[in-house]
Amino acid sequence: MCIFAGLLRQMTSWEGTLKIFCKIALILFLASFASAQRNFQTPPPYPPQLTTELKQLREAALASDYAWQQLAHLTNNIGPRPAGSPQASFAAQYVAGEMRKLGLEVKLEKVVVPHWVRGLEFAALDEFPGMAPGTTQKVLLTALGGSVATPAEGITAEVVVVNNFDELNALGRDKVAGKIVLFNAKFDKQLAAAGHGGPAYGQAVVYRGIGASTAARLGAVGALIRSVGGADYRLPHTGAMRYQPDAPRVPAAAVTAEDADMIASLTQQGRVRMHMVLTPQQLADVESYNMVADLKGTEHPEQIIIVSGHLDSWDLGTGAIDDGAGVVMAMQTVQLIKQLGLHPKRTIRVIAWMNEEFGNSGGIAYAAAHKDDAANHYAAIESDLGAGHPVGFRMTTSAANLPLLQPAGQVLQLIGAGMIQPTDDSETDIGPLLALGVPCFSPIQDDRFYFNYHHTAADTLDKVVPRELQENAAVMAVLAYTLANLPQNLERPAPRVAPAR
Amino acid sequence: MCIFAGLLRQMTSWEGTLKIFCKIALILFLASFASAQRNFQTPPPYPPQLTTELKQLREAALASDYAWQQLAHLTNNIGPRPAGSPQASFAAQYVAGEMRKLGLEVKLEKVVVPHWVRGLEFAALDEFPGMAPGTTQKVLLTALGGSVATPAEGITAEVVVVNNFDELNALGRDKVAGKIVLFNAKFDKQLAAAGHGGPAYGQAVVYRGIGASTAARLGAVGALIRSVGGADYRLPHTGAMRYQPDAPRVPAAAVTAEDADMIASLTQQGRVRMHMVLTPQQLADVESYNMVADLKGTEHPEQIIIVSGHLDSWDLGTGAIDDGAGVVMAMQTVQLIKQLGLHPKRTIRVIAWMNEEFGNSGGIAYAAAHKDDAANHYAAIESDLGAGHPVGFRMTTSAANLPLLQPAGQVLQLIGAGMIQPTDDSETDIGPLLALGVPCFSPIQDDRFYFNYHHTAADTLDKVVPRELQENAAVMAVLAYTLANLPQNLERPAPRVAPAR
């Protein structure tokens, strides 16, 4: 999930922008919700057969374990699927095979992806107030994706702790040069617990993206961030960082929230020195695939509704909530249509995206390859915020489209998923399509627990509740089938500049 | 915390005994609670001054951050304190210094402890159904305390999964020899969430203690257990195991609940092979200390009330809930008495026990050294179940003593800690004193979350809520001061055979 991260990466004045961004997001949310309520008054009826078919899809989704079994296979049998790994490409081939079993037309569209591999990770404080002579205090951390390695013997340096960029700048080069900087920005657990996980993530993740370069410009020899996540189980959360062109490249890692607290406490008492070894490697780029499978439409086969999630994951866990879940909802959508013998008028295209996490090369490559066909992309759906209970779906389209979708919302309201929420953004992989003016949609999930597990070793199959995965599959299937059969054309959002990735 | 583990280790027919044991525990609990209610009717009044002083202690405990600061020092500044480590002995000296600052008479009583050190830990499945060719699926695990090492290059063997000893025996030597056995007994999270963490722990921990030897008798080359704990954050829980004299010694480790589920799922689909490297070492025994500090009584200095917790911890976390918290409650007890200028009639003895986790040599050594003085040990208090909100205290004494303690319970009821619960057992370190007929006491904590963190890397300072630590210190201080000043003698429990450790 990178809604916020994607936008944030391109901003230069991070903190001010962030605050404004969060306020705007809240206002948009409230305004759009009010707007949705108003527009709900006079929905145009769907043809009775379409309504019947949507209800069939909903009920069939709630009765099926197809998505769950596919997710079990992706996570347990294939495992972590970081971009560039054999598992990621094998998973694309696996999904392709499953789609062929359903009779879909499948293409594996080439995507060049980076291939960063995690190495050893070890850190310990070897000097700190009150220590037992001759001992160390172990620090649990994990390298950030894209980090350079330390020398094989590691680096050893004093640690300075700052809560934000202002504090770093106030220290200045004199107090930063030669040190390891820990950015101790806390993930706002209360905000996340209140259902605003995205904004909480957006506030804290900025230090992951550009913290290392910002510290390195002042002479730091390494950068640490407090893990961006909500749980209290001493789990480091990885994620992508990127070096700025004008800054030295220093190794960067995420320490657990507990270790950040410990280091912060010790530095308040005196000098703290850390020894850190990270041995990741940036290998040569790898050719991988977006898995693209078409269930052809009967009346407008050239018009496309994308259903999707991203197949790549981080390497620590097995990528169940981020984002195996999104992929299997898309797979389930066409499986249900086939199972029920339904025939969408427009083409439904399953895409298992490659490399959301490490620069979105899959989404960018697809949009580049299909640019001339953008007008035929009627809509794109992606789920990439886990598989918590869905309350409805977001849409990046004109508000004029709202009434067209309200009957679909009514079908979903039976499972509590009837909310339709306009938004100004999209999930990461379909962002380049949004930039081309393609209406984008995503389920709205309960994400209160999502950031407890996000980018950690604990992102595993058991974090997905089977019933909630069924509900999400119902949302994607009902939404996709609605879009594939609407008599009208959707008003399209204005094309925009695609976010730099 | 080893209430149940201690008793269970000496049993031979584990499963049947366990069920009976849990039922008895429940009946005792209910009966004792009813009994406590009945006896609550006619408490004898305390001298008004004593009641006043108890209330002063309670209020002072709730206003003090002494225990918290001491716990921060033990966990952040000293760190993990496994038996035999430099940190453990250094911590004993540190606590001794703090006790001397308060004016107590301090002795460091020698205890010989084992010195087992964790080495490298790595495991991965390298053969399993549906795998991407040339890949592995990593398995997160941690060696059990006391385990032997694998060869340096590790062992590689097929994995068989059983849910209990019956299933293992049903497989027999033919299907177990040469394999790694995974005991997949689930910790009962619902039982723990309902406030019965101890029984839930007792049910599952038996496989940790004797699983390896039981499997090795059938020819297994390694043993794994599903971690004994309640959280869903892919955390392995370590803990002590012990080899039976008649069985080959095979390496033993705990995998996370998630990894146990994954392995179980894969073995249902086909052959699963694991490569495992564990390099722990059993070093020479080490001389360490029980820290013993006396605040002398004014009228009966020869009579002793022990307040205590155990100073050693496991090595993965920093030992905040297990059991730094118990130690600092004991430290806080005498600090408050000094701060308020109170003068207990009997001696209050702070003990920071060494080596609860690895055979209880501290508790055993103390009871052996002080055996002839057992009659002067008026009572012993230990806290070793974390620092969750206390609801009262347990007592291993005759029910005849209940009325004597009810006014103390009433003083504590203001903070919701007035329950007095007779029990038949004690915390581990004071078990050998109970065997000598010393009345034993412990706070009753809310342990619903305790086993989420128990014996994991996540047992860190932040898991203790400052206010709840204050409440616990209030319980220990009020209880200890009451016992030190009661006009009557307590009826003593019958001496019994000390549990073999």
- For the segment B231-288, what is each residue's pLDDT rounded down to a tens digit? 899 999 999 999 999 999 999 999 999 999 999 999 999 999 999 999 999 999 999 9
* A95: contact with B, CB 8 A cutoff: no
Check if B109 is active-site.
no
What strands, in cross-sheet order, belong to the sheet with A390-396? A105-117, A281-295, A346-353, A300-310, A377-382, A440-445, A390-396, A419-422
Phi, psi of B444 (to 5 degrees): -100, 110
Is A87 close to B134, i.e. CB distance below 8 A?
no
Cβ-Cβ contacts under 8 Å, B128 against chain A: 77
- For the segment B16-62, what is each residue's pLDDT rounded down to a tens digit? 344 444 444 444 444 444 444 444 445 568 999 999 999 999 999 99
pTM for this model (two decimals): 0.91
- For the segment A41-71, what is each residue's pLDDT rounded down to a tens digit? 455 689 999 999 999 999 999 999 999 999 9
Cβ-Cβ contacts under 8 Å, A79 against chain B: 131-132, 135, 137-138
State residue A43's pLDDT score: 53
Residue of B nearest to A460 (CA): B258
State residue B36's pLDDT score: 47
Task: Please name which of A151, A181, A208, A210 lies closest in space to residue A274, comparing C-alpha atoms.
Answer: A181
Is B134 close to A79, i.e. CB distance below 8 A?
no
Which residues share a beta bridge with B64?
Answer: none
Average model confidence (pLDDT) for chain B?
A: 92
> Which H or E element spans position B200?
helix B197-217
- Residues B146-170, mean pLDDT to the nearest whole number: 98
Contacts of A231 (CB under 8 A, 6+ apart): A452, A453, A456, A458, B233
State residue A231's pLDDT score: 85
Cβ-Cβ contacts under 8 Å, B134 against chain A: 86
CB pairs under 8 A between A and B: 122
* Phi-psi sector, A130: left (phi>0), alpha (psi -120 to 50), beta: left
State residue A234's pLDDT score: 98
State the Cα–Cα distance between residues A384 and A442, nearest whole angstrom.
Answer: 8
Is B135 close to A85, i.e. CB distance below 8 A?
yes
Which residues share a beta bridge with B295?
Answer: B348
Domain B119-279 - what CATH class?
alpha beta
Q: Which amino acid is at A376?
A: N
* B131: contact with A, CB 8 A cutoff: yes
ipTM of the complex: 0.91
- Determine the topology of domain A3-113+284-485 in CATH: Aminopeptidase (3.40.630)
Task: Please name which of A373, A350, A340, A357 lies closest in space to residue A296, comparing C-alpha atoms.
Answer: A350
Domains A3-113+284-485 and A119-279 in one fold? no
Determine the distance in angstroms separating the CA of B389 from the nearest CA of chain A, rounded to an integer. Answer: 19
Nearest Cβ partner for B140 among A77, A232, A457 = A457
Contacts of A90 (CB under 8 A, 6+ apart): A78, B132, B133, B135
State residue B10's pLDDT score: 37
Active-site residue (options: A15, A121, A153, A356): A356
Is A235 close to B231, i.e. CB distance below 8 A?
no
State residue B498's pLDDT score: 61
Residue of B nearest to A453 (CA): B233
Determine the distance in angstroms separating the CA of B265 from the nearest CA of chain A, rounded to an integer. Answer: 8
Nearest Cβ partner for B265 among A72, A132, A317 = A72
Interface test with B, best of A70, A71, A75, A77 (most B CBs within 10 A): A77
HEC profile of B127-160: ECCCCCCCCCEECCEEECECCCCCCCCCEEEEEE
- For the segment B81-96, what is each residue's pLDDT rounded down to a tens digit? 999 999 999 999 999 9
State the Cα–Cα distance between residues A161 and B470, nearest whole angstrom.
Answer: 29
Domain extents in chain A: 3-113+284-485, 119-279
Domain B3-114+284-485 - what CATH class?
alpha beta
* B320: contact with A, CB 8 A cutoff: no
* B48-63 helix and B466-485 helix, angle to the nearest 10 degrees: 160
Q: Is the peptide bond before A447 cis (omega within 30 degrees of 0)?
A: no
* B52: contact with A, CB 8 A cutoff: no
Instruction: Decide if pLDDT at B176 tops 60.
Output: yes
* A165-176 helix and A197-217 helix, angle to the nearest 10 degrees: 20
State residue A42's pLDDT score: 58
- For the segment B301-350, what is each residue's pLDDT rounded down to a tens digit? 999 999 999 999 999 999 999 999 999 999 999 999 999 999 999 999 99
State the Cα–Cα distance between residues B224 and B272, nearest whole angstrom.
Answer: 14
- Residues B213-225, mean pLDDT to the nearest whole number: 98
Q: Residue B16, Cα to own-chain centre: how many angstroms?
A: 23
Residues of chain A with pLDDT under 70: 1-44, 498-501
Phi, psi of B328 (to 5 degrees): -75, -25
Is A258 close to B232, i.e. CB distance below 8 A?
no
State the Cα–Cα distance between residues B96 and A128, nearest whole angstrom.
Answer: 21
State residue A5's pLDDT score: 40
